[in-house]
């Protein structure tokens, strides 16, 4: 337990250390490393923290390595079990979720035997399994055969990628638009894969800040580009439909790495292309 706390405290110091993020990005190593997870360069966060983290890290910055060898990339404890389930085990899981939902409905004052609710627990279980399907996605499958050598060194930007995610604090949806940009360093990723990458991380329990960072860090690991920028603008049901009830509130988060962080010109160009300047 002490060790967990220790690790957490150490990770808290990390998030401000951006110089190292840039260093990390500028080291030009390829994706081959993804498929052959052999001797690796010492990750910057490892140098800083001094101890390898054996628990799920508090921040994607401290995932070691940022894309783990099984490709799941910052999975949670039950993710592997879920991924490796056979058909029978999957049906068992669905049934257990449905039973839990029946309990919730009863506790909320409902009659789970009335017609409208008869199949609801099973339906909800299947819906939740779909909403969280990102736990079963492997980043290697997501980007498979879509990294290309290309001498392009201008900004690549994909705007308005729709994302649907679940807030891990209230288990209700947040959804909106994700904008991803990068400046290649001899490697580009098939454009549709940017959306797939966002989808993989969005279909998990999330906080918007982490989702933003995970997409940016994964992309910088895959391509080792000159820089990466990710902006997400989302509406949180937990915010608009309860509590403060600010129905128009949109939460924006961004993660800028490499030259997007170090060069204001690049950042401005990106924001202009987004129509935000
Ligand atoms: Zn929430």
Residue ranges covered by each domain of the chain: 79-134, 145-277
Residue 258 is predicted with a pLDDT of 95
The per-residue pLDDT for 194 is 95
**Other beta carbons within 10 Å of 35:** 11
Q: How confident is the model at residue 161 (pLDDT cuts 50, 70, 90)?
A: very high
C-alpha 250: how far from chain center: 19
Q: Model's pTM, two decimal places?
A: 0.75
pLDDT of the residue at 43:
46
CATH architecture of 145-277: 2-Layer Sandwich (3.30)
Strands in the chain per DSSP E:
147-149, 156-167, 173-183, 187-189, 205-206, 227-236, 251-258
Q: For residue 175, give the nearest of 215, 126, 208 by alpha carbon.
A: 208
Q: What values do phi and psi take at 228, rounded to 5?
A: -135, 140
Residue 101 has pLDDT above 90, yes or no: yes
Rounded to the nearest angstrom, the distance between the alpha carbon of 171 and the centre of ligand 1 is 7
Of 22, 178, 236, 255, the active-site residue reads: 236
Per-residue pLDDT for 60 more than 80? no
Give percent of the chain above pLDDT 70: 70
For the cut 70, the answer to whether the pLDDT of residue 144 exceeds it is yes
pLDDT for 148? 93
Is 145-277 in the same CATH topology as 79-134? Answer: no
55 CA to centre of ligand 1 in angstroms: 24
- 167, pLDDT greater than 90: yes
Active site residue 236: yes
CATH superfamily of 79-134: GTP cyclohydrolase I, N-terminal domain (1.10.286.10)
């Amino acid at each position: 337990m002490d060790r967990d706390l220790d690790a957490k405290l150490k990770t808290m110091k990390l998030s401000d250390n951006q110089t190292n993020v840039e260093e990390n990005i500028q080291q030009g190593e390829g994706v081959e490393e993804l498929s052959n997870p052999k001797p690796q360069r010492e990750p910057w966060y490892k140098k800083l923290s001094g101890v390898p983290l054996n628990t799920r890290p508090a921040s994607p910055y401290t995932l070691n390595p940022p894309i783990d060898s099984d490709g799941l990339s910052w999975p949670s404890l039950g993710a592997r079990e879920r991924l490796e389930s056979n058909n029978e085990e999957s049906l068992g899981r669905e049934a257990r979720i449905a039973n839990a939902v029946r309990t919730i409905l009863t506790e909320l004052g409902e009659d789970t035997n009335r017609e409208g609710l008869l199949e609801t627990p099973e339906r909800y279980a299947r819906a939740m399994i779909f909403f969280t399907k990102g736990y079963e996605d492997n980043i290697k499958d997501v980007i498979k055969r879509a990294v290309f050598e290309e001498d392009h060194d201008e900004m690549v930007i994909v705007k308005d990628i729709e994302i649907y995610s679940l807030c891990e604090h209230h288990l209700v949806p947040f959804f909106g638009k994700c904008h991803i940009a990068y400046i290649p360093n001899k490697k580009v990723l098939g454009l549709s894969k940017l959306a797939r990458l966002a989808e993989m991380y969005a279909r998990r329990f999330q906080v918007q800040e982490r989702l933003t960072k995970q997409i940016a860090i994964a992309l910088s690991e895959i391509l080792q580009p000159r820089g990466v920028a990710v902006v997400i603008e989302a509406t949180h049901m937990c915010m608009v439909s309860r509590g403060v009830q600010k129905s128009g509130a949109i939460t924006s988060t961004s993660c800028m790495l490499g030259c997007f962080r170090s060069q204001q010109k690049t950042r401005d160009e990106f924001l202009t292309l987004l129509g935000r300047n």
